[in-house]
Amino acid sequence: MNESRSGYSRGQDLGAGPGPLRVAVIGAGYWGPNLARNFTASPDWDLAGIVDLDQARAARLAAAQGRVPVFRSIDELLDTADVDAVAIATPAHTHHGIALTALKAGKHVLVEKPLADSRVKGQEMVDEAEGRGLVLMADHTYCYTPAVLKIRELIADGSLGEILFIDSVRINLGLLQPDVDVFWDLAPHDLSILDFILPDGLRPVEVTAHGADPLGTGQACVGHLTFALPNDAMAHVHVNWLSPTKIRQLVVGGSRRTLVWDDLNPQQRLSVYDRGVSLDRQSRSAADRRTSAISYRLGDTWSPALPEYEALGQMVAEFANSIWQQRPARTSGASGLRVLSVLEAVSDSLSADGKASIVVGNEPQLEVSR
């Protein structure tokens, strides 16, 4: 299946499928209950089982969803139940093994972020799904929120103009993770959003990352990531486990307008500012730009109206529609792999004391002389 970046449609707008699909949720911990609840509520799905090594925890979740069957492992599930798909909500280091088992059994797979704990494993998952004609979907939930869908629309229709910079901040007093640093914990959200809203997806050639571990935990607790965007633009992502205040903010600066998304402000999540540095009167020549006067525009600020619905409900509808229509999901395994590629480059940059690190798969192409 070839990946498409066509417009998003809600499940109910695409017409009914041939009948509800059967799915099992693997993992009854933090995220599994959210997936199970949305699968149960969706007309596109029948929740057919909960899988977890902790049978008591699985039984509690199963009871809350209508007493669906409980299984101890994916092997037990596949041996005894008839399902079309599985949704994996387990630690990242287990994603690869569970997903491959399901794919080899002919099941479609949804995986929570990150897709895997290494690019090599993620690539194997993508290749296995592609080879079998199955849907492998990354649960990049933010990409199904009304705000992010609107941001993508405003960028695509040219409302913001040429992108000049993107600045993303995701900080809070968070739970320090023993197995991953702050980049692998928080940045997948920001990177998946950028992959979704940028016209060509997340494809930096190289990244630069700086991290700090002031508490001596052995993992970076504060981090800054930067990389180039087309046309000399720049993206910056700030992640932090140590901030006493919680901030979830994305700023997209354009040549026509600048957009600010404040995810913690439900009254006005999006604000579009028609003010900034004006490029209209400036020559496109680099030499002339340096000598020309800078002008500013001072226009209005407006807030787009956004519908209210749960993003996970849209995500499970998209999972079903991608299966029925035999196409990649909007947040496909390929998008999850692009995020993984950047995360690995981030780790390489940290290991090299902040030196730029090439993103595997996005290396600059060398011209071959004829």
Q: Name the pTM for this structure.
A: 0.88
pLDDT at 4: 38
pLDDT at 326: 95
- Residue 229: which residues within 8 A CB-CB, separation 6 or more? 163, 165, 166, 198, 204, 235
Phi first, then psi, for residue 325 (nearest 5°) are -90, 0
- Answer yes or no: are the C-beta atoms of 325 and 293 closer than 8 Å: no
Where are the alpha helices (H) located in the chain, listed in sequence order?
Answer: 32-41, 55-64, 74-80, 92-104, 119-132, 146-156, 182-197, 286-291, 311-324, 333-351
Task: Label the pairing between strands 357-358 and 70-71.
Answer: unpaired
- Answer yes or no: are the C-beta atoms of 263 and 147 closer than 8 Å: yes
CATH 3.40.50.720 occupies which residues in the chain? 11-139
pLDDT at 6: 35
pLDDT at 44: 97
Low-confidence ranges of the chain (pLDDT < 50): 2-15, 281, 367-370
pLDDT at 275: 75
Beta bridge partners, 240, equal 171, 222
pLDDT at 178: 78
* Residue whose pair of structure tokens reads 């798909």 in the numeric block: 85
For domain 11-139, the CATH architecture is 3-Layer(aba) Sandwich (3.40)
Q: Which CATH superfamily is domain 143-310+343-351 in?
A: Dihydrodipicolinate Reductase; domain 2 (3.30.360.10)
Report pLDDT digits (tens) over 278-314. Answer: 655 455 565 565 555 666 677 788 999 999 899 999 9
Assign 3-state DSSP to the chain and report helix, strand, coil percentages, each to 5.
35, 25, 40
CA distance 264 to 283: 40
CATH 3.30.360.10 occupies which residues in the chain? 143-310+343-351
